[in-house]
Chain A
């Protein structure tokens, strides 16, 4: 009994030191945000086409890392991959009558069966700003995308870029991580809105839709 008491009393300082060290390490580690949100289906008439979609590893596991520039700032990791796949799946399923997830990476010149075209999205850049950086009470996320649209025969139809932006105000008892997550969700919603309303305005896409005999509706913008 006395032996076990001694062991416990000896273990306490070590346990306390370990917890303190873990706490310090946690405090010093980067702020990590895994973006989570719910994304609504778009309220639009779907295009009567079958779209193949390929999410590359860089897209499906997209992560942004910003290393701190001083001792007073923390590094940031913003993981958007899961949320990217979630919103683009929801959006494309609402925009096209049929969406097929490709199992192998499409390559130029290689035909793809049972689709009208293949869309490959890429996140090229992500930037963020928090009130500590800008002195204004909003958190901001900015993203730049690139899209490749290939025909069923594997020939490129169009390649275009698109930006999205999301911001959220500071909130009472809201952590930086929660606010960055909200700003990222807003940026993803904005990406979906931008894509849905401008897809048929991309000149090369417009030509392709005409070839397919798809009527291009006038949009309320």
Chain B
């Protein structure tokens, strides 16, 4: 038997959960989609790390990779750090190719060409962007008796994925995603953070578009 007070608390909690929502937009433009999937070849997903004031988060890069490989088991996604170590020093922020045409010059290095053939890299996907906290308000006071107050803040995520075809040495698609969400933290004795999954939503949005591009099953 649930008391009226518990029911009210649960309703409030449920309403709060519903209100921590995320708005997301995905734009896609792709060409030369592999109609029968990528077969035995593999995909590598890398974060761009050229900007001075932000850094594409490594956990976002692995989130997109996990989304693709869990959506289609037949797609081999090479882990970012494994790839960067295997081809060191050619994909460090200082040396990474910025344009598909640079691949040709890179492959003139015999050890690099051999390693790429060994890894069977067919597509290289560059992720560029970050999730930023954009504002916050509210106040909270805590003492031995607990915390009282209310806080809210928002996050904006903006990412762009650029798909390079390694065989044709050409860019074959761009996917943009942006997500905005408001998080809340009401506190009546105990603070209850209700976090808007902004980065996760951006990961799902971009991951789904890339999965549709790479997989024959989607």
Contacts and interface: CB of A to CB of B under 8 A. Distances in A.
A220 B86 CA distance: 17
A11 B146 CA distance: 34
Given A40-B85, A220-B106, 4 more contacts: A43-B109, A167-B55, A169-B54, A193-B95
Nearest to B56: A169
A138 B54 contact: yes
Q: Number of contact residues on A: which range applies?
A: 20 to 34
B95 A221 contact: yes
A217 B95 CA distance: 16
Interface string A6-38: 000000000000000000000000000000001
Interface in B46-98: 49, 53-55, 57-59, 84-90, 92-95, 97
Interface string B81-123: 0001111111011110100001001111111100100000000
18 contacts: A40-B85, A42-B88, A43-B86, A43-B115, A44-B109, A45-B110, A169-B54, A171-B57, A189-B88, A189-B89, A190-B94, A193-B88, A193-B95, A197-B89, A197-B95, A219-B109, A220-B102, A221-B95
A115 interface: no
B130 interface: yes
Contact of A136 (B53, B58, B102): B53
Contact of B94 (A38, A193, A219): A193
Contacts of B132: 137
A136 B132 CA distance: 10
Dominant SS among interface residues on chain A: loop
Q: Number of contact residues on B: which range applies?
A: 20 to 34
Nearest to A218: B108
Dominant SS among interface residues on chain B: loop
Contacts of B87: 43
A192 interface: yes
A40 B95 CA distance: 15
Interface string A76-111: 000000000000000000000000000000000000
A4 to B, nearest CB: 36
Contacts of A196: 89
Q: Which of B84, B92, B132 has the most CB of A within 10 A?
A: B92
A193 B92 contact: yes
A136 B54 CA distance: 7
A193 B94 CA distance: 7
Contacts of A193: 88-89, 92, 94-95
A167 B94 CA distance: 12
A209 interface: no
A192 B88 contact: yes
A190 B92 CA distance: 7
Contacts of B115: 43
Interface in A182-203: 189-190, 192-194, 196-197
B83 to A, nearest CB: 11
A167 B92 CA distance: 12
A220 B57 contact: no
B109 A220 contact: yes
A192 B90 contact: no
A166 to B, nearest CB: 9
Contacts of A151: none
B53 A44 contact: no
Contacts of B57: 169, 171
A41 interface: yes
Contacts of B112: 43, 220
The 10 closest A-B pairs by CB, nearest first: A193-B89, A220-B105, A40-B85, A193-B92, A169-B55, A40-B88, A220-B106, A43-B111, A196-B89, A136-B53
Contacts of A41: 88
Contacts of A40: 84-86, 88
Contacts of A136: 53-54
A127 to B, nearest CB: 14
Contact of A190 (B84, B93, B130): B93
Given A136-B53, A136-B54, A44 B111 contact: yes
